Amino acid sequence: MQAPHCQALPRMSLALSPLRSVGASRPLYMSASLFSAFGSLFASPRWEAQTRVKYSGYTSGFNFEEAWTDLALGCEEGTGHHRIVKYDLNGLEMVVRFEVDACIPPSAAKASAMRKVQSIDDLANDPAPVSSHGLTVINGGAVVPHSSILELTTRTQRRAAKFDWNDAYPQLFLQTPHHFLAVHDRGRFP
């Protein structure tokens, strides 16, 4: 179903070369929709057909994230956390959605100054009428500054030195300002 005043391009997968294309082992697939009324392009790096991935044996990432982070109040049932950002590339506006692993908690002073989103209406200046076509909105969480979001990555002590920071730089530059690399010994984090 399309939102009002939006013209969606036919569903497509664009095989784009990754930013670091030399020796890249996999292409980046994106779906895109053009919102003609706003002159914006919405690009989503992937469609999540599944919200959980089977453990491959090479990572402790999911368990690390569960053990070392706390869910925000009202977000306990969430299957993922995503951020939507808007870029203006010389007149072409792009709206991009990406997954966020965690955020750095604000200091006590900042936390008291941040206002909690009480209603979906708080997110827009002039909200459009809401229609109920099977969409349930559950209010929870709080406004999180972009400067506090982070990516979590795990590596074994044996493979930590081989972590390729060149693969991480585009994400740090374009999306997530902080990257935490957690090193473990057979699943035990110091």
pLDDT digit string, tens, across residues 26-35: 444 455 555 5
Helix or strand or coil: residue 2? Answer: coil
CA separation for the pair 10, 47 (Å, rounded): 15
Convert the pLDDT of each residue in 105-156 to its tens digit: 876 545 544 544 444 455 555 555 656 566 666 677 777 888 888 888 888 8
Helix or strand or coil: residue 111? Answer: helix
Say which DSSP state 121 is in.
G
Average pLDDT of the chain, as a whole number: 66
Q: What is the pLDDT of residue 130?
A: 59
Check pLDDT > 80 for residue 40: no
Residue 65 is encoded by which pair of tokens? 């994230």
Is the overall model pTM greater than 0.75, yes or no?
Answer: no
**Structure-token match 């009002």, residue found:** 4
Q: What is the pLDDT of residue 126?
A: 57
What amino acid occupies position 150?
Answer: L
Convert the pLDDT of each residue in 52-69 to its tens digit: 555 555 556 667 787 788
> Taking the alpha carbons of 1, 94, 20, 57 in that order, is the dihedral positive or negative?
negative
Q: How confident is the model at residue 175 (pLDDT cuts 50, 70, 90)?
A: confident
Phi/psi for 121 (5° steps) reads: -65, -25
Q: What is the pLDDT of residue 5?
A: 33
Question: What is the rounded radius of gyration, in angstroms, for the C-alpha atoms of the chain?
Answer: 19
Of 17-21, 59-63, 111-115, 157-161, where does the model show the most confidence? 157-161
Phi/psi for 61 (5° steps) reads: -55, -45
C-alpha dihedral, 31 to 37 to 38 to 43, nearest 10°: 0
